[in-house]
Amino acid sequence: MSAEGSRLVRKTSIAAAVVVLSNVAGNASLSRGLRGHGPAPGAGPLAYVAAFLDPWVAAGVCLLILWMLSRMALLSWADLSYVLPVTASGYVLTAIAGHFLLGEHLSATRWAGTVLIVAGVALVGVTDPLTKERKP
Amino acid sequence: MTWPLVATIVGATIAADVLQSVEMKRHGEIRDFRPGTLGRAVVALARRWPLILAVFFMAVSFFAFMTLLSVADLTFAVPATAATYVFETILARCYLKERVTWKRWAGAALVAGGVAMLAL
């Protein structure tokens, strides 16, 4: 692999890790803050403003802003059809966070699904991040 | 109310992701991650209307996700919204003209299958 190719792979790995970790931590934090007392379906804007005052929700929103920005940066050089499955490893970490941090039940079927996702991520991870000509 | 929320999240996410991918490719690779340079890039990007539209769709998706999390488990909410994978891979091939190799199709199919099992 060329030096430019190695640089792109290394940069993509770091960016994908930031995207995945910020998404998992953000979602877990939001879930922790919203469970049972978040805005109900059809609630007005004030219910959402009130939800933001919860420290778990506020931390979750900050992490999800980091997720959005890092994902936009990743999409500036990597294909969407590459980014989607590679960042899907977040589903596995979300399942683990839901089980161990939030005490949610995970059945054998959900663990099997987790294994399938890992296989899919591994398969896409060996392809080039960018298949089209890069903009100079 | 759960499934209409999931449908809202999926639709808004697909629109946001495709718009973001088009606009970020148009902007070009971000190579310099120093805060000043990143700030200038954000200001430049904030003037592009498709990206503003993408952020709007992300906000719609986010508020629907917040509502979903208040009535459903995290381990349901996150996987259930992954129907986006199938639609976005098709759009990446047909609209964004990405070269989706058999490995990517197979990987996306495995992820979609795995996500479906997580939602069971």
Structure-block tokens of residue A14: 């770091």
pLDDT of residue A134: 52
Instruction: Return the residue matching tokens 């148009």.
Output: B26
Cβ <8 Å between B97 and A40? no
- Chain A: give the shortest CA distance to residue B11, in Å: 15
Range(s) of the domain holding residue B82: 2-119
The residue of chain A with its CA nearest to that of B87 is A81
Residue pLDDT, tens place only, A78-116: 888 888 878 877 878 888 888 888 888 878 887 888 788
Interface test with B, best of A30, A32, A53, A72 (most B CBs within 10 A): A72
Domain boundaries, chain A: 3-125
Residue pLDDT, tens place only, B52-99: 999 999 999 988 988 888 888 877 787 777 767 778 888 888 888 888
Instruction: Name the average pLDDT for chain B.
Output: 84
Total number of domains in chain B? 1
CA angle B27, B78, A96 (to 5 degrees): 110
Distance (Å, whole) CA A92 – CA A23: 12
Instruction: State the ipTM, two decimals.
Output: 0.72
The residue of chain B with its CA nearest to that of A115 is B114
Nearest to B69 among A34, A132, A135 (CB): A34
**Span A47-66, average pLDDT:** 88
pLDDT of residue B15: 94
Lowest pLDDT segment from A38-42, A49-53, B115-119: A38-42
Instruction: Return the residue matching tokens 């977040």.
Output: A90
